[in-house]
Amino acid sequence: MPNNISFTDSLEKIPVEIFKTPKEGSRYVAEQISVLIKEKNSQGKKAVIGLATGSTPKSLYAELVRMHNEEGLSFKDVITFNLDQYYPMEADALNSYHYFMRKYLFEQTDIDPKNYFLPNGMIPKDKIKEHCADYERKIEEAGGIDLQILGIGINGHIGFNEPGSPMYSKTRLISLDNSTRMANSQEFGNISEVPRMAITMGISTIMKSKKIILMAWGKTKAPVIQKAVEGNPTEEIPASLLQHHDDCSFVLDEFAASDLTRFKSPWLTGECEWTPKITRKAVVNMALQLNKPVLSLTDHDYNESGLSDLLVEKGNAYDINLEVYYMLRDSITGWPGGKPNAVIPKHPERSEPYPKKVIIFSPHPDDDIISMGGTFMRLHDQGHDVNVAYQTSGNIAVTDEFVTRFLDFAVGFEKIFHIDDTISKKVFETSSKFLKDKKSTEQDSPEIREIKGLIRRCEARATCKYVGLTDDQIHFMNLPFYETGTIEKKPMGKEDVDITVELMRKIKPQQIFAAGDLADPHGTHKVCLDIILAALNRIKSEPDNEWLNDCYVWLYKGAWEEWDISEIEMAVPMSPEQVRKKRYGIFIHQSQKDSVPFQGSDEREFWQRAEERNANTANLFAQLGLTKYAAIEAFVRLKSALEENDL
């Protein structure tokens, strides 16, 4: 069931259902599809369903397949029409939506192949208009779409109706917006491989559907969801036009819903419990909007910003300002492992034990230095036993050209030093030939994946040595869920958790740092965090877990975003020299410089993202009236595993 909200927010112009996880939201939508199919079939009719592709509906299709296998849900009397298709794109290509739908739904159910329809991505250009008109006719002949499933792009597109698409547009060929191509490049490996055009149902076609459900998961969708739900309907945000539909709802997870006013500024909705966390969020947001230091805010500012209830609850602005200022001040520390031999009640970390055993979990072989390189170095320099655990090999994020460079080096090395290794030569020859003949849609061979993994391990080990760690403090976990050879990963499994539990038991850390960056477009960070939490929960339920009582878990953000300043619980400042040192540590990862496969919609290199993010965090603290630093790395603490019933 969706989370119940005790008020109806007049700001929300489209009904919204919010779930804790995408899986729960998908189950809710799948149930509605099941009810529709059964109702139509009981009337002797076929249910007509419009389907979407991309990462969003994968969990929906998985649930429908489960219902088919375990609950007998039949698709024999179902007709489907897909929203869109890349152009040009062969039906059997790995990135084709024909291939996607067969893989995730059609071939795993009993749907009649004659009953599912998708635009033809290889239709000759001079036949496209006729093909699109025929697609519209087929929908009408089927009786119209009973339920249309939608996703949403970060620019607000639905189907491939990009910003500016007319309200009355029909199925047609469209040029893809650059932001869409950048976002979708994660599925292709390189933006140059993403088609520039697509055939899509028009907005008018979508709006004729009897019922519409738009699904969205993740923090990256939050800004556009807020605009679509709370803003004015405009063709510049095509999803906002759904406000004109009589039966449309949005199904979101908590992250996608996080920018809605009820969550971002609950005090504006009329119902708000003034906890310290909410108070800090409200005051910080107000100070930033007014461009004032926290201590300069006045009663008038509170009243004009909709915070008069906070004044009534807590008194005058002066007292509230001090309360929030002290929260911000006390989060800043140059001692991320705790300051030894010091009693600082409000310090984010404990002074004892000292030195601490620390595990820095790094989802990819460079997240440690990119996301918390300054803190990483400071923990080591301050005498703590720092261990880095690289959770995945990161082998898909190495270009073939980079592998070729290393193969050439290895061959040249053997020639110079007259090394006669028949096995190595055979591997080099086989690998070189594979890369030479490799097709753009072809997956890497096991040998190439091993070489790419080796390249990343060498870079990660060199970074740790640069910081000062020894070999026994560097751990390559190579979690199995990642090793598919493609961007799409397996769900976490027991073996992933087993490996993580074993490492934790071996080290028994007092501090754990983990990636809480759920904006990672590929989902690897989310799976890695889930594995850590599952491992902690297992250890919690077993004997010999006393060390867990004294373990703090700190979450950092990765290359994709930063914590909101109102959420930060530990802020570690960096000097200009420390910023430079961190940059040089990132540079060691040469395979990730210049051009990186699957880097998402942000064209900046990782070191640039890190420096700009860290500098921006420092500037925000200074803007609020705190000391101005060159850069700040930020963390939020996860409650101790033994303080909660479930993580």
Q: Which positions are catalytic? A: 84, 155, 157, 162
Find how far residue 633's CA is from the centre of its chain. Answer: 20
Greatest CA separation found in the chain? 83
Q: Compute the distance between CA of residue 621 and CA of residue 610 in angstroms, rounded to an integer.
A: 17
Q: Compute the distance between CA of residue 468 and CA of residue 585 in angstroms, rounded to an integer.
A: 11
Q: Helix (H, G, I), strand (E, B), or coil: what is residue 360?
A: strand
Which residues, in sequence order, are CB contacts of 310 under 8 Å at separation 6+? 267, 274, 279, 282, 283, 302, 320
Q: Compute the distance between CA of residue 587 and CA of residue 584 in angstroms, rounded to an integer.
A: 5
Q: Compute the distance between CA of residue 527 and CA of residue 161 in angstroms, rounded to an integer.
A: 31
One-letter amino acid of 115: N
Q: Which of 392, 389, 388, 386 is nearest to 364 (CA)?
A: 392
Q: Compute the distance between CA of residue 474 and CA of residue 386 in angstroms, rounded to an integer.
A: 9
Q: For residues 357, 362, 365 and 366, what is the CA-based torsion angle, rounded to 10 degrees?
A: -100
Q: Compute the distance between CA of residue 4 and CA of residue 24 in angstroms, rounded to an integer.
A: 14
Q: Which of 449, 270, 475, 290 is nearest to 388 (CA)?
A: 475
Backbone region of residue 80 per phi and psi (left: phi > 0; alpha: psi in -120 to 50; beta: other values): beta
Paired sense of beta strands 84-87 and 172-175, if any: unpaired
Distances (CA, A) of 121 to 186, 280, 405: 20, 52, 36
Positive/negative CA dihedral, 306, 274, 519, 379 = positive
The two tokens of residue 64 are 């429908």
Q: Compute the distance between CA of residue 311 and CA of residue 282 in angstroms, rounded to an integer.
A: 12
Q: Which of 278, 225, 273 is nearest to 252 (CA)?
A: 225
Length in residues, the chain? 647
Q: Compute the distance between CA of residue 204 and CA of residue 212 in angstroms, rounded to an integer.
A: 13
Q: Helix (H, G, I), strand (E, B), or coil: what is residue 545?
A: coil
Which residues, in sequence order, are CB contacts of 177 under 8 Å at separation 6+? 155, 157, 162, 163
DSSP per-residue letters across 236-299: TBGGGGGGG-SSEEEEEETTTTTTSHHHHSGGGGT-----HHHHHHHHHHHHHHHT--GGG--H
DSSP per-residue letters across 447-489: HHHHHHHHHHHHHHHHHHHHHT--GGGEEE---GGGTTSSSS-
b/e code 558-578 from CB counts within 10 Å (16+ = b): bbbbbbebbbbebbbbbeeeb
The two tokens of residue 350 are 């404990």
Positive/negative CA dihedral, 477, 483, 489, 495 = negative
Task: Give yes or no for a contact between 568 and 554, defined as CB atoms under 8 angstroms apart.
Answer: no
Distances (CA, A) of 602 to 181, 186, 224, 611: 12, 11, 17, 14
